[in-house]
A and B are shown apart, each in its own frame.
Chain A
Amino acid sequence: MRIDPARLIDAIADCMIENMQELTELDAAIGDADHGLNMRKGGEALRADMAAFKAASLPQALQLAGNILATTVGGAAGPLYGSLLMTMGKSIGPDPDLGEVGKALVAGVEAMERLGKVEAGQKTMLDVWKPVSRLVAREGATVQSVRALAHEAAVATIPMEARRGRASYLGERSRGHMDPGARSSELLILAVIDALEFEQ
């Protein structure tokens, strides 16, 4: 597997910009309707630094991207995605195999979990990242199985009652809506897979 850092960050940026409308609508239902715009701002900030990403190694690119997201996104997604990427950047080498990617992803998701003081089943982005990181870290995970799991895990947040984040103020009324952070997580995972597949 070859990972081109600039192409990877470019795919993440595109994904954050292109899905503004859908994420805004999901967040309007159970939150403060800013997740789409926040993500777009983060994507635009990544794009604005593309020259730096072109010159960066993979660990450098991930750490820089994490820092940019924590600084520009605005909502909780900023520091959470930021800490995921920064921790991955610190845990990964410049030319990782799939096993190393899996380990770095697990470390990143643990950082995100600790920072957000969140557990699985609370209707948050962790409900996607936790199972996906475990699957990627397991030997023999296929691209198809990771894609399918990311989607299933996002859909599985629909009946959950929110226990963390702005939607938790709704209590029972948060049921019946997909968590916007879980959906953006699914979209990012699919976008990253596409960018990596392109390299194969």
Chain B
Amino acid sequence: MTDLVGIVIVSHSIDIAKGINDMVRQIAGSELKVAFCGGTADGRLGTNMKSVQDAIDAAWSPAGVVILVDLGSAEINSELAIDMLPAERRGSVVVCNAPIVEGAVVAATEAKSGSPLADVKRAAEELSPQ
């Protein structure tokens, strides 16, 4: 069986992240790994590197992982979490420049069909305004 690309959702709000996760789960089936995180360790709005690292671990797949983010620090903490990965995993995790809700759903649809990492990222990013 082919390994499917994993999906990570990173929002400033845990409620938004969880809501998107629910929507993705509807289409993801049981074989696709999806993880989400949001908010600070003490429950405020924001993001933190550790929770992104944990989400990457939870969604890890040999096919790679795409990360969907909302604003500023979600992207920066995700990039830093990628920098901190062991060298052999670092190249297999990418942040998508895509709207977080639509991007996550499109990425999950693409990933579920067995597309490689670059195709999953491209499908999500085609949603971004040019």
Contacts and interface: CB of A to CB of B under 8 A. Distances in A.
Question: Bound pair: A and B?
Answer: yes
Contacts of A166: 71-72
Q: Which of B44, B47, B48: most chain A Cβ within 10 A? A: B48
Contacts of B50: 70-71
A166 B80 CA distance: 19
A73 B72 CA distance: 13
A72 B73 contact: no
B46 A38 contact: yes
A76 B80 contact: no
A115 B79 contact: yes
A10 interface: no
Contacts of A67: 49
Of the listed residues A75, A78, A116, the one surrounded by the most CB atoms of chain B closer than 10 A to its CB is: A75
Chain A interface residue count: which class? 20 to 34
Contacts of A116: 76
Contacts, number: 63
B49 A78 contact: yes
B72 A70 contact: no
A75 B46 contact: yes
A76 B72 contact: yes
B73 A78 contact: yes
Interface string A76-91: 1111101100000000
Interface in B70-108: 71-73, 76-77, 79-80, 83
Interface in B27-51: 40-42, 44-50
B44 A79 contact: no
Contacts of A76: 72-73, 76
A189 B76 CA distance: 22
Interface string A10-47: 00000000000000000000001010011001000000
A191 B33 CA distance: 45
Interface of B: 40-42, 44-50, 71-73, 76-77, 79-80, 83
24 contacts: A34-B44, A34-B45, A37-B44, A38-B46, A41-B40, A67-B49, A70-B49, A70-B77, A70-B80, A71-B49, A71-B50, A72-B40, A72-B41, A72-B48, A73-B40, A73-B48, A74-B45, A74-B47, A74-B73, A77-B73, A79-B49, A79-B76, A166-B71, A166-B72
Q: Give 3 nearest A-B pairs by CB, closest first.
A: A74-B46, A76-B73, A74-B40
